[in-house]
């Protein structure tokens, strides 16, 4: 197992390099980068701009009115008549780091990523790593609670459906599962906001954030209750949208194991049904499900929670990445991508280790 883990860890480097390189190349050809956005904003304001740089790579720009007709003249109403000084354009490019060739920017980025130095945000004026560490607890909290509740709901429900396969209970719960599978989590989030967060009906739960104003001065038990109150709707939206697949996977895994010969043998020896299910079937059927927990957590944390964070205005990685993509804030986009990719690859290795812990018969070293 040790040699296998070393090989997997060694593969992290070229995998990360390839993913970052592909995304970097794609972004270079995508229109509407930060320079273009700044130039469009300045042209839309109808003025020429003098740029000056303060701090590390952060630009402050002051507008200076001008035009053919003079201040207040008729030509000032025609924004397209004003051009931008090439020196101003060059200053903007230097401010955002686009005065260097693409390969040089990519090399500087790679060297920084080795030490988790993702640079500074182009628009927020803060180090990207500080922003990621600040937003990470919100996303981890939402993803962890959602994943745990999904497992606590889906596994017992899937086992129950497998035991009572074909019954009325199996039929109506399959309808509920089908709805949960078909409707994405963010639509449930919007529905919950409309019903319970003051949208059109009840104002039972808060709509924004994870804490109430002034909660820092409250006692611990009250802060915990306030946190759970804020987490209720976002977590429920992710649970409703995510439990369906795991429920059906659990049911099908148990049905497959129940039909095997060792189960018939155990029953023929007089073992009661609970011992057959939880003493023999459970360990084999749950191998894929339990070992998939790390990957499921990463999936909920970095995909399903993104739109839910936006709906409930939760200041996490999903909302940060969304705003960075809208504004073409490349340091945050690449830093978030790097973090997501690294955690995803590490969690895949953790999943492989979990396989061997659950079933020692699995030997990755023996695979050719």
* 88 domain-assigned: yes
49 in Cβ contact with 84 (< 8 Å): yes
* 122 domain-assigned: no
Burial class of residue 38, CB neighbours in 10 A (0-12, 13-18, 19+): buried
167 & 251 share domain: yes
106 & 189 share domain: no
In this predicted structure, what is the pLDDT of residue 121? 83
259 & 339 share domain: yes
107 & 213 share domain: no
97 & 203 share domain: no
Share of the chain above pLDDT 90, in %: 0
In this predicted structure, what is the pLDDT of residue 253? 84
Total structural domains within the chain: 2
How far apart CA 64 and CA 47 sit, in angstroms, is 6
Q: pTM of this prediction?
A: 0.70
Q: What is the pLDDT of residues 182-226, one digit of tens each?
A: 887 778 888 888 888 776 677 788 877 777 877 878 888 888 888
* 103 domain-assigned: yes
Q: What is the pLDDT of residues 48-68, one digit of tens each?
A: 333 433 343 444 443 333 333
Q: Where are the alpha helices (DSSP H) in the chain?
A: 2-29, 34-45, 86-95, 102-114, 128-163, 168-182, 185-196, 220-258, 261-268, 273-275, 282-285, 287-291, 293-299, 305-311, 317-327, 330-358
In this predicted structure, what is the pLDDT of residue 286? 75
* 20 domain-assigned: no
Q: How many residues does the chain have?
A: 368
Q: State the CB neighbour count (10 A cutoff) for residue 334.
A: 22
* 44 domain-assigned: yes
CATH number at residue 177: 1.10.3720.10
The radius of gyration of the chain's CA atoms, rounded to the nearest angstrom, is 27
270 & 199 share domain: yes
* 209 domain-assigned: yes
Q: Which of 111, 109, 110 is nearest to 120 (CA)?
A: 109
In this predicted structure, what is the pLDDT of residue 75? 36
233 & 133 share domain: yes
67 & 139 share domain: no
In this predicted structure, what is the pLDDT of residue 55? 40
| Structural domain span for residue 240 | 129-366
* 11 domain-assigned: no
Give the domain-ending residue among 115, 142, 162. 115
Q: Which of 158, 316, 348 is nearest to 243 (CA)?
A: 158
* Torsions phi, psi for 81 (to 5 deg): -75, -20
How far apart CA 141 and CA 300 sit, in angstroms, is 11
Residue stretches of the chain with pLDDT short of 70: 1, 27-35, 37, 41-85, 92-93, 95-97, 199-200, 291, 295, 301-304, 359-368
* Inter-CA distances, 164 with 38, 246, 312, 342, Å: 62, 17, 38, 41
153 & 194 share domain: yes
97 & 181 share domain: no
* 233 domain-assigned: yes
């Amino acid at each position: 197992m040790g040699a296998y883990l070393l090989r997997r860890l060694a593969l992290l480097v070229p995998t990360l390099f390839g993913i970052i390189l592909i995304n970097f190349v794609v972004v270079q050809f995508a229109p509407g980068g930060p320079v273009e956005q700044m130039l469009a904003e300045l042209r839309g304001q109808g003025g020429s701009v003098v740029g000056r740089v303060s701090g590390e790579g952060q630009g402050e720009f002051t507008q200076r009115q001008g035009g053919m007709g003079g201040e207040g003249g008729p030509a000032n109403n025609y924004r397209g008549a004003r051009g931008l000084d090439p020196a101003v354009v060059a200053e903007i490019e230097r401010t955002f780091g686009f005065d260097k060739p693409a390969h040089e920017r990519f090399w500087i980025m790679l060297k920084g990523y080795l030490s988790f130095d993702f640079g500074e945000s182009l628009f927020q004026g803060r180090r990207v790593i500080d922003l990621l560490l600040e937003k990470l607890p919100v996303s981890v909290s939402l993803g962890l609670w959602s994943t745990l509740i999904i497992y606590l709901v889906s596994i017992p429900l899937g086992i129950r459906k497998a035991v009572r396969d074909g019954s009325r209970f199996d039929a109506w719960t399959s309808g509920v599962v089908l709805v949960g599978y078909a409707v994405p989590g963010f639509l449930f989030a919007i529905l919950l906001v409309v019903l319970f967060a003051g949208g059109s009906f009840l104002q039972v739960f808060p709509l924004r954030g994870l804490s109430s104003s002034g909660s820092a001065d409250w006692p611990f038990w009250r802060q915990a209750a306030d946190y759970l109150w804020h987490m209720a709707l976002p977590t429920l939206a992710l649970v409703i949208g995510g439990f369906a697949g795991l429920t059906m996977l659990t049911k099908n895994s148990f049905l497959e194991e129940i039909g095997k010969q060792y189960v018939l043998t155990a029953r023929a020896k007089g073992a009661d049904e609970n011992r057959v299910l939880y003493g023999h079937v459970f360990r084999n059927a749950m191998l894929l499900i339990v070992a998939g927990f790390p990957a499921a957590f990463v999936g909920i944390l970095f995909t399903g929670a993104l739109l839910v964070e936006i709906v409930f205005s939760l200041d996490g990685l999903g909302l940060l990445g969304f705003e960075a993509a809208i504004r073409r804030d490349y340091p945050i986009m690449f830093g978030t991508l790097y973090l997501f990719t690294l955690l995803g690859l590490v969690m895949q290795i953790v999943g492989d280790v979990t396989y061997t812990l659950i079933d020692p018969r699995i030997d990755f070293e023996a695979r050719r």
